[in-house]
Amino acid sequence: MNIEEALPTFILESRELLEDVEARLLRGPAEMDADSLNAIFRGAHTIKGSAGLFQLDHIVAFMHGVESVLEGVRDGRVKLEDPLVTLLLACTDHARLLIEAVAAGEVSANAEMERAGAPLLARLGEYLEVTQLTAAVEKPRAAIVQPRPSGDSALTDHWHISLRFGPDVLRNGMDPLSFLRYLSQLGSIAAIETLSDALPPAPEMDPESCYLGFEIAFASMADKAAIEGVFEFVRDDCRIRILPPNSRVSEYVALIDEAPPQAPRLGEILVRCGTLTPHELEAALAAQQADAANAPKLGTILVDEGMVQPAVVDAALVKQKQLGDAKALDARSIRVDAGKLDKLIDLVGELIIATASTNMIARRTRVLDLQECAATLSGLVEEVRENALQLRMVKIGATFNRFQRVVHDVSRETGKDIRLVVSGEDTELDKTLIERLGDPLTHLVRNAIDHGIESPEERRKRSKPAQGSVRLNAYHDSGSVVIEVSDDGGGLKREKILAKAIERGLIDPERSLNEREIFDLVFEPGFSTAERITNLSGRGVGMDVVKRNIVALRGTVHIESDEGAGTTVIVRLPLTLAIINGFLVGVGKSVFVLPLDTIEECVEFPSAPTHDYTNLRGNVLPFIRLRDLFEVSDPPVARENIVVVRHAGQKTGLVVDTLFGEFQTVIKPLGKLFSGVKCISGSSLLGTGEVALILDVPALVQQAS
């Protein structure tokens, strides 16, 4: 992998780091602990350091300002308050724009970027002045010189870095000296020894291989994580050991022990670097000659001396094993381009169609061996299908967490105190659906804040907490994913919605509507009950787009509201857009497919010809005759059947002629010519090459009710 090939990895990891930084900042100053502050600082530092490796100087300069302010916050010289959090969130947005510009091929700053970043850097500079003023009145920590006691507890006043680059570093497009140049930005290199102990004889040398090593005495106030971050992109291609100031001589003994036999005398190098004194070197060599085999383990020493409890040592060993297991798990994970997954799903779909054709030919020929092979093939294809679909399933939690920022910004814009409550984050959904859900959910969350939640003064008058809440919840139900966006605001006013709809001519004044039909008027194009137009709402644009986008995903959306208590928008979506388990039914010569997850049972058709309902174990079951709905001209059969389907808690019967059984269905979208056809959500190819229409169960249930 050369440096150009590593750039996409930098972009991807920078996006993830910015998302993590943003999520931690959104917790607010009250919930910010030391771990979160350190994580935010590390994120900014890693982006800055990685950008330096790719010579993205404009990103380095901007992130340096952010990092400096964060360092002041971490050291207690700058107080983290809401204005600073807002500024850091704005810096996160600008950094994201810089990264996306690099992803688009702009590796240097343009005038527009500089104009956008200049005000942010100026505001950061105000905090940097506070940091510098505070640091000036404090006693500089770097000026404190501690005595160097002798023996095993000897101290050094700088870091020692032992670095051996791997042979493939140059071949992978990395420049070893660039890492040393970047290291010097964190402090000063007090001394350095260049080693070539890995250099083979001249005839055996490979000009593309790296044989360099360095022993470095490094003076810096940075922590170990920051120093390790310098070598982030070559961590797998080098051997690095970092010893902090105040390290014991025994740690240098271990470093000497790790040196290869053919290496020059490492002890002398440590003396030349100033890391050890000659006296300390003699003590280290003496310790090296001791019988290490008889030395007790460190945990045993600490327990024997009463410094720690045995449970602490046991917990440390367990933690060490967990970390090792986690690293092993990371090593088994790879990143796969989404386009390759899409191609895999398409191929699996074609394989399912071919398998259905094979099964039909096997049944027609009545060759037992062929039928057995076809059955085995069908089982394997089904297993491949399940695994292929699982590769595309992602948790919805990442999408939900993005709305923390939306709630944070919009609540401040409207002057309301609102918190976001998220549940069901582990619910999995197809990646394509996740990507296309962003805009509809954004509209719903913003509407909940602007229309739903009242002002703090109004909430107090209604004996409600001043802080309102918006809730996002997701769960699986009958082969679908249900997403709920709810608020504890004032709820929808039925009379107001009805009056507005009559005023705009959307409904007949004499028409009687139930509660759900009234609330569904909100999704009509241009409909709005807002008394004034704001930056967020009032123009009647948004909810109709929400419904259109969700219907395009073969989903449904409806509203439940309790005036004075709040509103819930319920979105129901299929698990995947590509392949489903279907159930084939026939009406005359026509074949239809029903999603298997929506089917409750199949019963005989016992109703009188003039009725559109039947008695199902004491309950009234409305049904639809598919023959009448689709105007099938073939004569009815003597014994019809009812397929009972369920959607959103409602049952409906579908009267059909024939039950063909289960069938793996590849969903093929209908053309624009059929976009207005109701109760049909797609089509599928049968093994015979014929087309079977996939029924839209939510639309059928709604029509029956």
What residues contact 437, with CB distance under 8 A and at least 6 apart? 399, 429, 483, 553, 573
Q: What is the pLDDT of residues 530-576, one digit of tens each?
A: 555 454 554 344 688 888 888 888 788 889 998 888 999 999 888 77
Alpha helix locations (H) across 224-337? 224-230, 249-258, 266-273, 278-288, 298-304, 310-331
pLDDT at 381: 87
pTM over 0.95? The answer is: no
Q: Which residues pair with 238 in a beta bridge?
A: 165
pLDDT at 529: 61
pLDDT at 139: 36
Query: For residue 467, is pLDDT > 70?
Result: yes
Query: For residue 122, is pLDDT > 70?
Result: yes
Mean pLDDT of the chain: 78
What is the H or E stretch that residue 559 is in? strand 556-562
Mind listing the domains of the chain with CATH numbers?
3-138 (1.20.120.160), 151-295 (3.30.70.1150), 338-394 (1.10.287), 396-574 (3.30.565.10), 579-704 (2.30.30.40)
- Please report, for residues 6, 22, 99, 116, the alpha-carbon distance to residue 94 in angstroms, rounded to integers and kept in the order given: 23, 12, 9, 8
pLDDT at 571: 92
SS3 call for 641:
strand
Categorize the per-residue pLDDT at 650 as very low, low, confident or very high, splitting at 50, 70 and 90.
Answer: confident
Categorize the per-residue pLDDT at 383 as very low, low, confident or very high, splitting at 50, 70 and 90.
Answer: confident
Considering the chain, what percentage of its residues have pLDDT values greater than 90? 12
Query: For residue 274, is pLDDT > 50?
Result: yes
Query: For residue 676, is pLDDT > 80?
Result: no
What residues contact 403, with CB distance under 8 A and at least 6 apart? 420, 441, 442, 445, 472
What residues contact 606, with CB distance under 8 A and at least 6 apart? 614, 615
Neighbours of 24 (CB within 10 A): 18
SS3 call for 587:
strand
> How buried is 625 (Cβ within 10 angstroms: 0-12 exposed, 13-18 middle, 19+ buried)?
buried
Q: What is the pLDDT of residues 304-356, one digit of tens each?
A: 544 445 555 555 555 555 555 554 544 456 777 777 887 888 888 888 888 88
pLDDT at 350: 83
User: 234 versus 654: which is more confidently predicted?
Assistant: 654
pLDDT at 664: 75
Q: What is the pLDDT of residues 128-169, one digit of tens each?
A: 765 554 444 443 333 333 333 334 433 346 788 888 888 888
Categorize the per-residue pLDDT at 257 as very low, low, confident or very high, splitting at 50, 70 and 90.
Answer: low
Give the span between the Cα atoms of 169 and 51, in whole angstroms: 18
**DSSP assignment string, 438-493:** HHHHHHHHHHIIIIISPPHHHHHHTT--SSEEEEEEEEEETTEEEEEEEE-S----
Query: For residue 57, is pLDDT > 70?
Result: yes
Query: For residue 384, is pLDDT > 50?
Result: yes
Give the span between the Cα atoms of 424 and 486, in whole angstroms: 14
Q: What is the pLDDT of residues 411-423, one digit of tens each?
A: 888 888 898 999 9
User: 539 versus 8: which is more confidently predicted?
Assistant: 8
Lowest mean pLDDT among 92-101, 274-283, 585-594, 688-697: 274-283
pLDDT at 581: 81
Query: For residue 627, is pLDDT > 80?
Result: yes
Neighbours of 213 (CB within 10 A): 23
211: Cα separation from own chain's centroid: 40
Give the span between the Cα atoms of 25 and 91, in whole angstroms: 11
pLDDT at 152: 40
Tokens of 453: 């939640």
Give the span between the Cα atoms of 437 and 572, in whole angstroms: 11
pLDDT at 18: 92
Closest CA to 212 of 232, 197, 190, 200: 197
Widest CA span in the chain: 107
pLDDT at 608: 62
User: 192 versus 297: which is more confidently predicted?
Assistant: 192
pLDDT at 143: 32
Categorize the per-residue pLDDT at 681 as very low, low, confident or very high, splitting at 50, 70 and 90.
Answer: confident
